[in-house]
């Protein structure tokens, strides 16, 4: 008989992330260092456990009109069909058509951080995305409508008590709301349900692992990003007169 336990394995995944985030909070004295450490921990989790068709990086998003997003802590984008990713000296630029999801990573969950994450999300969602018809053996599929880009926030703790209560719900709904999901590793996770148009808050348990599974599920239902019009970007190669 095997001595493996799936329950233990999944619990250990959460415990590892929780411990790393707690260590970063306690060990780093400078806020920027704490923030950078938190981003790295979440990025490493996603880079390790997301299916290989997805990539997770910190960077900017650009569209074919030459408009750039704000800097994004975590961009989850397509690596199977994306024709180019600009990466120079650690600066990553992702075409808008390739983006599946974006997240802001913070040490704690506050109203200001929720608002900040919402602004980051909107800076990506407002970008122009091309979509071409897709040729296949029997003809051509019509151009695909660009997918809804998921947006969220990832933290270690919450400044609210309870962490996933009315205060968080009000902050998420303010200004129309634009965050689909998020995780407070020490206390729970949340996600927006399209069926009921309401937020679901799940407290306790092993939030980091539960959130990871929920994110993968949401990405599966997102389908595949549209076929990018590469030539729309090539116009920037032509010198202006």
Q: Where are the alpha helices (DSSP H) in the chain?
A: 6-27, 31-49, 111-125, 166-173, 207-222, 230-234
Q: Which residues pair with 155 in a beta bridge?
A: 184
CA 16 to chain centre: 20
Burial, 28: exposed, middle or buried (Cβ in 10 Å; 0-12, 13-18, 19+)? middle
Q: Give me the torsion for CA of 48, 53, 59, 63, rounded to 10°.
A: -170
Question: Is 73 marked active-site?
Answer: yes
Q: Which residues pair with 182 in a beta bridge?
A: 153, 190
Cis omega (within 30 of 0) on the bond before 7? no
Question: Is 106 marked active-site?
Answer: yes
Can you tell me the distance from the alpha carbon of 23 to that of 34, in angstroms, rounded to the nearest whole number?
A: 10
User: Which one is catalytic: 39, 78, 104, 218?
Assistant: 104
User: Which one is catalytic: 39, 55, 63, 73?
Assistant: 73
Can you tell me the distance from the alpha carbon of 3 to that of 98, in angstroms, rounded to the nearest whole number?
A: 42
Strands 150-155 and 181-184: what pairing?
Answer: parallel
User: Which one is catalytic: 55, 63, 97, 106?
Assistant: 106
Show which residues are catalytic. Answer: 73, 104, 106
């Amino acid at each position: 008989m095997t001595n493996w336990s799936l329950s233990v394995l999944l619990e250990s995944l959460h415990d590892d992330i929780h411990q790393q985030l707690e260590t970063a909070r306690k060990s780093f004295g400078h806020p920027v260092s704490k923030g950078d450490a938190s981003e790295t921990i979440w990025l490493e989790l996603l880079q390790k456990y997301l299916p290989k068709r997805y990539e997770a990086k910190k960077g900017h998003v650009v569209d074919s009109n030459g408009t750039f997003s704000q800097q994004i802590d975590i961009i989850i984008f397509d690596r199977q069909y994306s024709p180019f990713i600009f990466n120079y000296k650690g600066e990553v630029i992702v075409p808008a058509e390739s983006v599946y999801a974006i997240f802001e990573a913070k040490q704690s969950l506050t109203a200001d951080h929720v608002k900040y994450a919402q602004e980051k999300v909107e800076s990506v969602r407002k970008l122009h995305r091309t979509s071409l018809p897709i040729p296949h053996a029997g003809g051509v599929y019509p151009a695909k409508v660009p997918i809804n880009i998921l947006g969220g926030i990832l933290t270690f703790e919450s400044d609210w008590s309870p962490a996933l209560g009315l205060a968080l719900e009000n902050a998420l709904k303010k200004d129309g709301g634009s965050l689909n999901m998020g995780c407070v590793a020490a206390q729970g996770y949340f996600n927006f349900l399209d069926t009921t148009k309401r937020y679901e808050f799940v407290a306790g348990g092993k939030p980091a692992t539960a959130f990871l599974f929920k994110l993968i599920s949401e990405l599966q239902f997102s389908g595949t990003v549209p076929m990018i019009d590469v030539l729309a970007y090539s116009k920037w190669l032509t010198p202006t007169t």
